[in-house]
Structure 1
Amino acid sequence: MNSPFGTKHRYNAYSDYFKRTFGERVQKITIDAGFTCPNRDGTLARGGCTYCNNNAFNPSYCHPQKPVVQQVAEGIEFHKVRYRRASRYLVYFQPYSNTYAPLEKLKSLYEEALAQEGVTGLVIGTRPDCVDDEKLDYLQQLAEKYYIIIEFGVESIYNQTLERINRQHTFEQSVEAIKATAQRNLHVGAHFIFGLPGETRQMMLDSVKTVSQLPLTTIKFHQLQIITGTAMAADYKKHPENYSLFSFEEYLDFIIRYTEQLNPDFIIERFAGEVPPRFLAGPGWGLIRNDQINVAIEKEMEKRNTWQGKYYKP
C-alpha cells in the first residue's frame, strides 16, 4: 500500500514534518538553562517526579553554569559531526521546567538563544502548571517571527498515577494548559510514559481515545525505564513486583496497537526513550537505538498492513 501520509512512513513522522515545515533538515540543540521545578524547590513538594534524573538525558555539552551562548555554540559543533547537512537549529530548553521563572528572566534567556546565528526557533519543555496567560502571550509574539513549540510533560491521563509518581499536577491542568497554548496558535507537544506503576496495559491503550482529542502538534512516547538515583529506583529495588516493564517485543506490539488508534494528525516525534545503560537500575533493551526502534516498528506495521490512525475515530 501507499502510505496515507504521502511518505515512505506508515506514521506521521517528525523528520517529514520538519522537511514540510522548513524545507530542509533542522537540528535541535539541547541546553540546560538552570531551571528547577515547583515539586523540587518546595513550592509544591521536594524530590521531584519519582522517575526523574535529567542527567540520563543531557548531552555532554549541557551544563547550567555555561552561558546559553556557549551551550548553543558547543551544541552546534557537537551536531555538525553527525548531521553535516543541518544549517538551521532549534534551541531545546529541556531539563526540568523551562517556563518556571519570572517573565523577564525568560525573555532574557529565550532572546539570547534566538539571537545566535542559524537559530530559527525554540523548543520549550515545561509542566502544565508553569505557564500562564502572560507567558503564553509573550510566546505568541515570539511565534510571529520564530518557530516556537511548548512541550508539556503530561505522562498519564490518570490522576491516581500522577499522584503516585509525585507529578503534583492533574490531567485536567494539562488539558487546560494545552488548550490555552493551542488557542494562541502556538505549536504544542506532549510527552507520555507507558508502564507507570498502577496502570494496566489496557488502561494505557484506553487512554489513546482521550489523548487523541487534545489539540497537539507533536507527541512523544517513552517506555518506563528505571533510572539510577531516583525514588522510583529505590522503590523498584524493594518492590519489583509492583512494576510491569515492557520487553522490546511487548512494547513493539503495544505501541503499534496504540498508534493504530491515535489521531493521524499528530506528529510522532519518538516512540520510545533511550538512555545510556549505565543509568539503568532495572532491565533495559540493550544498546538498541531510536532509529533501530523506528525501523522495527515500521517493518512490523508493514507486516500487519497497518498505520497510524487506521482505527482512529474522531
Structure 2
Amino acid sequence: MTDKNFFWNHKKRYNDFPTYFKNKFLERVQKVSIDAGFTCPNRDGLKGKGGCTYCNNKTFKPTYCNLENSVTNQIQKGVDFFAKKYDAMKFLAYFQAYTNTYAPLEDLKRLYEEALQHPKIVGLVISTRPDSIDEELLDYLSELSKGAYVMVEFGVESHLDKSLELINRGHSFADSVWALEQTEKRGINNCAHMILGLPGENHSDWLEQAKIISKLPVKNLKLHQLQIHKGTILEKQYRERPDSFFLFSAEEYVELVVDYLELLSPQIIVERFISQAPPDMLLAPKWGLKNFEFVAKVEKRLKERDTWQGRLYK
C-alpha cells in the first residue's frame, strides 16, 4: 500500500486530525480550553442528578480555567502558555467543561462572540450533549460558521442504549444520531466522542460500533479508553465490584484501536485514541503513556499488520 492510495492523501495509515488541520489552516492551530461556568442537565435535575458515572470534570480542565477569569482572560492565559512553546500559531476557543450549550441562546451568543473577538482565535469548539441543542441554536451556529471555524463536539459515548442507561447518561443513541445529522445538514463541523471499554460491552460491540459510526455523518471522532477517575460514581462501583470491569492493558487497547480503524470510514478524521487524566486523579488503568507515545504504538502496529483505516470498510 503506497501513500498515494490512501483516501486522505498522505503517508499516515489513518486520517489524522493534526495533518487535516495543518492543511486547512496552513499553520499550527491549538485549542485553548475555557470554563464558562456551565452546569449539566444531568446534574441539576433536568435530566438527572449525580452526573454520568465516569465524570469528573477536573480531569481535563487546565489550571487557567476558573470562573474568576473572563472568557477573554482565559483565552489570553492559554495563548501566553503556548506562546512559550511555539513562535507563531492560531487558536480555537474550546468550551470544554460540562455542557457548553446549556444556557439561554442570548447568553451563549455573548460568550461565543466574546471568544471570537480575540485576535488569535480563528474558531470555536463547543463540547456538549446531543440532547442539549435545538434548531434555533443550530441555525445560529450555522450562521457563525460562515465567518469562523465552528465544531460541535458531542458526548455520544456508546451506540448501545443499555450502556448509556448504565452510565446514567440521560440520553439515547437516537439523540446522538439526530444531533450529528442536524449539524451536518447545516454545514457545521461535528465530532463524536466515544468511550471504549464500558461495563457490559465486549470486543464485538466495539467493532459493531465502528461500523455504525461509519454510517453516520461524523466529521471527527475521539476515542477514549475507559478510565476510573477518583471522586466518581464509577470509582465506587469499581471498588465494590472490580470483576465487572475489563480495563485494557496498553497493548490490548492498541490492538482494539487497530481493529476499530480497519472498519472505520476513511472519510472520518480521527482526533485522538486515548484520554489522559492527571495521575493523582486516576485510579486505573495506569499506563504511564502520553498521547504521542500511544499514537506511535498505534502507527507501529498498523505498519506491522500492513493495514490502515478503512481497509475493511464497506
Q: TM-score, normalised by structure 1?
A: 0.97
Q: Deviation per CA, 1:258-278, whole angstroms, max 9, x where unpaired?
A: 000001001000011111211
- Give secondary structure in 2 for the equivalent of 1:9: coil
Q: Deviation per CA, 1:17-68, whole angstroms, max 9, x where unpaired?
A: 1112111111110111011110101111111000000101111111122100
Asked if 1:59 corresponds to 2:41, the answer is no
Match of 1:219, as an amino acid?
L
**Aligned counterparts of 1:124 and 1:237: Cα–Cα separation in 2:** 33
**Aligned counterparts of 2:246 and 2:88: Cα–Cα separation in 1:** 41
What are the ranges of 5 or more consecutive residues in structure 1 without an aligned counterpart? none
Counterpart in the other structure of 2:100: 98
- Give secondary structure in 1 for the equivalent of 2:131: helix
**Aligned counterparts of 1:145 and 1:207: Cα–Cα separation in 2:** 34
What percent of counterpart residues are identical?
48
- Give secondary structure in 1 for the equivalent of 2:295: helix
**Aligned counterparts of 2:231 and 2:82: Cα–Cα separation in 1:** 28
Counterpart in the other structure of 1:21: 24
Alpha-carbon RMSD across the aligned residues, in angstroms, is 0.9
Q: 2:15 aligns with which of 12, 19, 22?
A: 12
**Aligned counterparts of 1:136 and 1:257: Cα–Cα separation in 2:** 34
Within-5 A mapping of 1:1-314: 1-3=1-3, 4=6, 5-86=8-89, 88-286=90-288, 288-313=289-314
Aligned-residue offset at 1:204:
1.2
**Aligned counterparts of 1:200 and 1:279: Cα–Cα separation in 2:** 26
Match of 1:102, as an amino acid?
P
Q: Deviation per CA, 1:148-189, whole angstroms, max 9, x where unpaired?
A: 000000000000000000000000011011101110011011
Aligned-residue offset at 1:297:
0.5
**Aligned counterparts of 2:265 and 2:301: Cα–Cα separation in 1:** 19
8 Å Cα contact 1:301-1:307 kept in structure 2: yes
**Aligned counterparts of 1:71 and 1:122: Cα–Cα separation in 2:** 14
**Aligned counterparts of 1:25 and 1:246: Cα–Cα separation in 2:** 33
Match of 1:291, as an amino acid?
F
Aligned residues: 311
Aligned-residue offset at 1:219:
0.4
8 Å Cα contact 1:31-1:93 kept in structure 2: yes
Which runs of at least 4 in structure 1 moved beyond 6 Å after TM superposition? none
What are the ranges of 5 or more consecutive residues in structure 2 without an aligned counterpart? none
Q: Deviation per CA, 1:274-312, whole angstroms, max 9, x where unpaired?
A: 1121111223112x1101111111011011111000000
Q: TM-score, normalised by structure 2?
A: 0.97
- Give secondary structure in 1 for the equivalent of 2:283: coil
**Aligned counterparts of 1:85 and 1:279: Cα–Cα separation in 2:** 33
Aligned-residue offset at 1:78:
1.0
8 Å Cα contact 1:34-1:65 kept in structure 2: no
Match of 1:285, as an amino acid?
W
8 Å Cα contact 2:248-2:285 kept in structure 1: no
**Aligned counterparts of 1:48 and 1:268: Cα–Cα separation in 2:** 27
Match of 1:54, as an amino acid?
N
